[in-house]
Amino acid sequence: MEINALQGGLDAASKQVLIQAFTEAIRRQAGITPGDLVPVYILFRDVPASDWGVFGATITLPDLQNPPAGAAAI
């Protein structure tokens, strides 16, 4: 599984939470018995904001963290 995120958007603890949650979801969906190893690789790519485009423009982490009041979710 590959996860692309804005650089700086996820710290090490957040990544660990996601690794555990995604692994558990895959285990359940694949019918793997609890306690058995789940053969999944999870890769995080921290992508610079300059490489993200949304609605025809680049977007920054603060843009996502602090959307204008009343803005619809992206």
Tens of pLDDT, residue by residue over 13-40, are 999 999 999 999 999 999 999 999 999 9
What's this model's pTM, rounded to 2 decimal places?
A: 0.76
Q: What pLDDT is recorded for position 33?
A: 95
CA distance 15 to 43: 10
Token pair in block for residue 61: 């982490």
Tokens of 68: 């204008």
% of the chain exceeding 70 in pLDDT? 97
Structure confidence at residue 74 (pLDDT): 64
Report the C-alpha gap between 66 and 44 in whole angstroms: 23
User: Does the structure show a pLDDT above 70 at 62?
Assistant: yes
